[in-house]
Amino acid sequence: MALRKQKNKETALKPRYKKKCTEVTALKKLSLMTAGKSLTSVQKVFIEMQFQQSGKSLKARRFTVSQKLLSLIIHERSPTAHKLLSGLFSLPSAGTLKKVCDKINFDTGISSVITRYLQAEGKRLSPSLDKYVTVIWDEASCFLI
């Protein structure tokens, strides 16, 4: 009999709990919208990430692509800073960021995008000696000298 009363009490509390959760979520969104007018897009992504991930365990966190890219920028700038911020805020782990990097397809050789860019720049130059340039290829970027 006592078990049945406990179960009835729990089922009666569930709708109130769900209502409170939706109210809290609505308040979070409202506060972000009012404060968001003066925030940059990167700041909004970071704050939304903290709201979405608060209260979740490490294994239950799911991050959007923009949240992962923001964390990847932080990690690439300074892995130590990322580690410090991960202790203070909800950020994707270094392993998650490595998986994101592994999914990016990098082909070796000359990129067709860079080739099209150089052709467009060559057409823009005057027909004089401006078209004589040296192109130096680096493993990470392309420089025109």
Q: Give whole-number Cα distances, 24 to 17, 29, 34, 95, in Å.
A: 11, 9, 15, 32
What are the tokens at 38? 């003066």
Q: What's the confidence (pLDDT) of residue 145?
A: 39
What are the tokens at 52? 């979405």
| Residue 137 CB coordination number (10 Å) | 10
| pTM listed for this prediction | 0.55
pLDDT tens per residue across span 57-69: 888 999 999 999 9
pLDDT tens per residue across span 66-103: 999 999 999 999 999 999 999 999 999 999 999 988 88
β-strands 142-144, 135-137 pairing: antiparallel
Would you place residue 139 in the very low, low, confident or very high pLDDT band (cuts 50, 70, 90)?
A: low
Of 6-10, 39-43, 55-59, give the lowest mean pLDDT range.
Answer: 6-10
